[in-house]
Copies of this chain bind each other. A is one copy, B any other.
Amino acid sequence: MITVIKVGGNITDDDASLDQFLQQVARAEGPKLLVHGGGKSATELGKQLGISSRLIDGRRVTDAETLKLITMMYAGWINKHIVAKLQALGCNALGLCGADGQLVPSVQRSPVPVDYGFVGDPVENSVNVKLLHSLLEQGYCPVIAPVTLGKNGQLLNTNADTMASVLAAALSAEQRVQLIYCFEKNGVMNDPEEENSIVRELTPNTAEKLFDEGLIHSGMLPKLKAAFGAKERGVERVVIGHAFRLHELTKSDSTCTLLSMS
């Protein structure tokens, strides 16, 4: 079973949290790969440089300057910082972004109705699975930054939840795959105020119901869409849970949200 792990920005932004999470990654058994986002790091670097990031509906607009920032920060600092830490923990990490070896070809999002700039969505059935299998077979743990390649050599900013989903789905064509979305909570909550109100099993129907009741906020929707998408396309097990409990999450369904199609 291949384990695809996605980690959120609230974990990678904080060095102590990142360390605690990476210890769990290093302990996880079997072939594994890690997809990371960038959290607030690029926005903060942008501020220092006097580049303000424009958001539409909570999504960053990626102009040329922001794309450079993101590529530096996500594919450069965060990616190599994680690789270095994993190597120190005895995990043979190898950092890539979606542009490397055509790992995740993408297409720039249409400027209509909203122009998000240099943002790309992965092209279906085009992941370079051969490269991933070759690296996993050689014992490497690929660490993947959410930057991809569109037409004519255009780098594109890509949603990390989607990257993880697309990679897991592509790998599942040949092998059993589980996909674990790690963040700073134990799962999807019935009551955001109540730590113990985890939804143990989430179906598309219950997700819609929770959203209608205002219990899932809109920021969670892209993650759930990506997560259900992976499940639909053959990923055996999709879990949402706490980054510090990753090692348990790879083996047990307790204290987390397990996705189910029915």
CB within 8 Å of B: which residues of A? 48-49, 68, 71-77, 79-81, 83-85, 87-89, 92-97, 99-102, 130-131, 134, 138, 140, 147, 149, 152-155
Contact = CB atoms under 8 A, between A and B. Distances in A.
Given A49-B49, A87-B99, A134-B134, A155 B68 contact: no
Contacts of A49: 48-49
A89 B152 CA distance: 8
Given A101-B94, A153-B87, A71 B75 contact: no
Contact of A76 (B48, B76, B102, B149): B76
A190 B240 CA distance: 66
Contacts of A89: 153
Contacts of A99: 80, 83-84, 87, 95
A8 B130 CA distance: 33
How many identical chains are in the complex?
A: 2
A149 to B, nearest CB: 6
Given A71-B77, A92-B101, 4 more contacts: A68-B77, A71-B81, A76-B79, A88-B153
Given A72-B72, A76-B72, A95 B100 contact: yes
Contacts of A79: 75-76
Contacts of A88: 152-153
B147 A138 contact: no
16 contacts: A71-B76, A71-B77, A75-B75, A75-B76, A75-B79, A76-B80, A80-B97, A80-B99, A80-B100, A80-B155, A84-B154, A87-B153, A88-B152, A93-B100, A94-B100, A95-B97
A84 B101 CA distance: 10
